[in-house]
A and B are shown apart, each in its own frame.
Chain A
């Protein structure tokens, strides 16, 4: 009996050691890091949310894969892997934690919506830095949100793709934060996106 329980304890220790651990390095902003934090929180995995100060960035920059953050460090047994680029990180974590599609086609659709959101974010960032966001609020956001709203309507179950939450749903929810004070008013026109956002934010772990 004692030998058996020793074996169980050994198995538990080995299992714990072989579980990957994650460290996300990003500034203490939402921007490109927050939706990854959402995904990690959802996963329940052990992760270190390494928020760095702008003044510490220059020293850290050369140690990163592309001189940019976010970067995800994955420790798997004795392997250490660093992944840069927020969508690559999100897709990887999604594949580990059931937030990706059931097949290649679903994955492609999720990637497509994720990529469109990424483009939107890049363009909004650029416009924001030039103080030229009016076109965004009058045309670009509404047009893109309509694509996402139409997709939600077509899929019919509150999610963008398939039958359950995917990383692109989490990304979309996070994107709505960039609407700032205009968010509530804006989302009145997009009830399905609003419902998705509320659903994501009420998930235990993310809430």
Chain B
């Protein structure tokens, strides 16, 4: 029997995609949340000195995976949320990487310490970068018969974008005014059976 243990901080950030995938699949796992002071100890155990990382144990064998999207794609394949067929999976990956690019831009904003610079980055994010990326997601979602990115059903990128929108907090309402299909996706994921139950019980964190 395979068991899973996720190591990440007590936040959504880059770990939540993985938690959402476990939630959507119903697969049990240990959701280990690292205290900031304990990070050096866990950093040493992680493949690239970063979190999240996922420990997969199968009998006596243990493997550790790093890189949130690599972990996400692995679980998505296992649980049937990767897309159908090689070409669709490639397109799912493509949108996934684009969402990562946007998340990385957002992360720059979050990590900026200098208040003036932070404001500058925020303006650029809000006026240029967010709309630029959302336009593509809106176009794809608007074509969908199911409200998810792909007609074949929920894939990991629906959860990935849902999480990113979650990180925006109330700012997302402004975005939703211009991007209706994106809002529809957000609502759809929120209402999705197992995910809805998870959202009601997960720890509340700002990020």
Residue positions of A touching B, CB distance < 8 A: 65-67, 74, 76, 79, 81, 83-85, 87-89, 91-92, 95-96, 104-105, 107-109, 111-112, 114-116, 122, 143-144, 147
Contact = CB atoms under 8 A, between A and B. Distances in A.
A107 B74 contact: yes
B47 A88 contact: no
A111 B70 contact: yes
Interface residues of B, number: 28
B97 A105 contact: no
A104 B74 contact: yes
A112 B94 contact: no
B70 A108 contact: yes
Nearest to B56: A105
B195 to A, nearest CB: 23
Given A66-B98, A104-B74, A115 B69 contact: yes
B29 interface: no
A109 B70 CA distance: 8
B47 A112 contact: yes
B73 A111 contact: yes
Interface in B63-114: 63, 65-67, 69-71, 73-74, 77-78, 86-87, 89-91, 93-94, 96-98, 104
The A contact surface, by secondary structure, is helix
Given A95-B86, A112-B66, A112-B67, A122 B98 contact: no
Contacts of A108: 65, 70-71, 73-74
B47 A92 contact: no
A111 B69 contact: yes
Contacts of B78: 104
Contacts of A88: 90-91, 93-94, 96-97
A104 B136 CA distance: 29
| 4 tightest Cβ-Cβ pairs between the two chains A and B | A111-B70, A88-B93, A108-B74, A85-B97
B59 to A, nearest CB: 14
14 contacts: A66-B94, A66-B98, A76-B87, A85-B94, A87-B93, A88-B91, A88-B97, A96-B86, A108-B70, A108-B71, A109-B65, A111-B69, A112-B65, A115-B69
B48 interface: yes
A147 B48 contact: yes
A105 B66 contact: no
A96 B90 CA distance: 11
A91 B96 CA distance: 13
A116 B63 contact: no
Contacts of A87: 93, 97
B65 A81 contact: no
A145 to B, nearest CB: 12
